[in-house]
Amino acid sequence: MGSPEIPKIGKTPERQEQIASPAELAWKNIEAQVAARLRELFNEVHDTRRYEENEQGARIEKLQNNEKVFFTKVVAGVEEARQQHEQVTVLFDVDETLAKHVYKSDNTSRTFLRPSAVPLMEFLKNTYQSNLGLFTSRGGLEKQLENAELLAALKPYMDTSLLFSTRDYPLFGSDSIEFGKNLLRDFGGEHGIVDDALVDPDPFNRPGAMGDIDKLQCLKLIREKLPEGAVVIVDDMVYPEILSRKNGLYGVSLNWMKGDSGVFHL
């Protein structure tokens, strides 16, 4: 009769704790900082006398969850790109992605950065040595990065050679239905910027909003300028969902049409 089997020391699969992802661990480190800043922003933008305390708390809690969704989505997207590419460039949309431009009752306006934006930039720089830039419909980006009422807080993290505005590119124009029908012809294929397998067979279900059309047309030209390494696109439009990872384009879509997507609200 053989010796009894000695039980192995350690946790059984049932008892193993789930290991947090890099995105979740990074979020834990900034969560309190983001919550405090979010409350400040909410009080600055809204007349809090209009809200009951419990209603205000619920709105802030929802906004904070949206910050977590945004932060962890972006980090996960960059983490995926970094596993396949040594060099990773991250291009952010501005409005409803990194910031919100608010018009006030006294006829003034200001761009408010989401509270997780700067901590995210710091994390991407320090952890992945990412090159960071902007890809937006806003014009005059270099001037905006100098303006404290606009985007100046982002300036220390931005590579000024990576500031792309759709206003600086010749757009070919397209009817949304025509654009959808020709999406694979114009942007797909073996070396295209979209992944044919991710494009809905029904042209009417493909990205077709003006923002999607403008951004895809520009991105095709931008990719020619940035042929090396991976490019991660972060935007509140739909088009990042169909970008071709095989060809080094990784999309983080906050898709404004979906709830709890990470789109920046205040």
**48 or 109, which is more confident?**
109
Which of 68, 77, 69, 26 lies closest to 232 in space, CA to CA? 77
Give the tens place of pLDDT for each residue, 141-185.
999 999 999 999 999 999 999 999 999 987 766 678 888 899 999
Alpha-carbon distance 44 to 213, whole Å? 35
The predicted structure's pLDDT at residue 57: 82
Secondary structure class of 106 (helix, strand, coil):
coil
pLDDT at position 10: 46
What value does the mean pLDDT take over residues 2-9? 44
| Residues 6 or more apart whose Cβ sits within 8 Å of residue 180 | 203, 204, 206, 207, 208
99-103 and 109-113 strand pairing? antiparallel
Task: Flag whether pLDDT at 4 surpasses 60.
Answer: no
- pLDDT, residue 26, reads 94
| The pLDDT value given to residue 255 | 86
Residues 6+ apart with CB under 8 A from 145: 151, 152, 154, 155, 158, 160, 163
Residue 9 predicted with pLDDT over 90: no
- The pLDDT tens digits of the residues spanning 67-92 come to 999 999 999 999 999 999 999 999 99
d(CA 51, CA 59) in angstroms, rounded, equals 10
pLDDT confidence of residue 259: 75
Tell me: pLDDT of 15 over 60.
no
CB 241 within 8 A of CB 212: no
Q: What is the pLDDT of residue 12?
A: 47
> What's the pLDDT at 172?
67
CA angle 5, 11, 15 (to 5 degrees): 125
**For residues 136 and 138, what is the distance between their CA atoms, to the nearest angstrom?**
5
> Dihedrals φ, ψ of 212, to 5°?
-65, -45
Tell me which of 21-25, 192-196, 221-225, 254-258 is least confident. Answer: 254-258
More confident residue, 56 or 32: 32
pLDDT value at residue 63: 92
Give the residue, 18 or 156, on which the prediction is more confident: 156
Q: Is the pLDDT of residue 117 over 60?
A: yes
DSSP character string of 19-38: PPPHHHHHHHHHHHHHHHHH
Q: In which residue are the tokens 């931008």 written?
A: 222
Percent of residues, the chain, with pLDDT higher than 90? 70
Helices then strands (H, E): number in the chain? 7, 7
Residue partners of 207: CB distance under 8 A and separation at least 6? 180, 183, 213, 216, 237, 238, 239, 241, 242
Residues 6+ apart with CB under 8 A from 10: none
- pTM of the predicted protein model: 0.89
Nearest in space to 134 (alpha carbons), one of 105, 171, 92:
92
Please, what is the average pLDDT of the chain?
89
Are 66 and 35 a contacting pair, CB within 8 Å? no
257: pLDDT strictly greater than 50: yes
Higher local confidence (pLDDT), 256 or 102:
102
Q: pLDDT at residue 210 above 80?
A: yes
Higher-pLDDT residue of 217 and 15 is: 217
Q: Where are the beta strands (DSSP E) in 32-107?
A: 88-92, 99-103
pLDDT value for 6: 41
